[in-house]
Amino acid sequence: MNIFGIYSKYMIPPNLQEHMIRVATVGNAVSSNWKKDSEVDVARIAKTLLVHDTGNILFFDFKTFPIENEDHWRKVQTLFREKYGDDHAAVMTIAKEVGLDDKSLYILDTMPKTDFEHQIPDDQPELQICWYSDFRVAPYGITTLSKRFDDLVQRRKKSGYSKNKIQRWIKMKEYGVELEKKLQEKISIQLNSISENDVNGFKKKIGEFKY
């Protein structure tokens, strides 16, 4: 089965599909240009990122991000909530059901737990690439890591987050910037050259990744 078969089987909304494809586009560009290609598995990174947010419909905000056929997707949201309980459980269950390997499951389980207090060791480049790639994508498309974090901080300020919580996101950005510097040293292209222009090229080869 390819990723589109998975998206259909698990009723993943189109906008969520596009988000995961964009994140996987970044991850694929980074891993495909890794100087020591023996350190990373390009297919594993792509397949992992293509399912990394499959449970996000559980907390989808239909008011902020309108979607066609809203009634249908609200029913899907209810079904997901009844079956999985929370978004992380949904991601892990789906990942196991589609046959991802143990390393992929570890990456999916660890990505949400990573922050400036729980940093990724340098001997886990696949996890570093996946975490980084997720913070290169905004609702409108692929952006820079700094812009993405600035957007997240501003949105949290507008939402009335406490100063302590906002400060944590600022520290997350600092960690992300440092990680980006490390990754830049290990790849043969400029990280900020990865853009929305790369998405269509990635889509053309997306069928290569079988589950």
The pLDDT, as a whole number, for residue 203 is 96
User: What's the mean per-residue pLDDT of the chain?
Assistant: 95
The pLDDT, as a whole number, for residue 66 is 78
The pLDDT, as a whole number, for residue 86 is 84
The pLDDT, as a whole number, for residue 87 is 85
The string of pLDDT tens digits covering residues 51-99 is: 999 998 888 877 777 788 889 999 999 989 898 888 899 999 999 999 9
Full 3-state SS string of the chain = CCHHHHHHHCCCCHHHHHHHHHHHHHHHHHHHCECCHHHCCHHHHHHHHCCCCCCHHHHCCCCCCCCCCHHHHHHHHHHHHHHHCCHHHHHHHHHHHCCCCHHHHHHHHHHHHCECCECCCCCCHHHHHHHHHHCCEECCEECCHHHHHHHHHHHHHHCCCCHHHHHHHHHHHHHHHHHHHHHHHHECCCHHHCCHHHHHHHHHCHHHCCC
Task: Work out the number of other CB atoms within 10 angstroms of the CB of residue 69.
Answer: 11
Residue % of the chain over a pLDDT of 70:
100
The string of pLDDT tens digits covering residues 146-197 is: 999 999 999 999 999 999 999 999 999 999 999 999 999 999 999 999 999 9
125 pLDDT higher than 80? yes
pTM over 0.85: yes
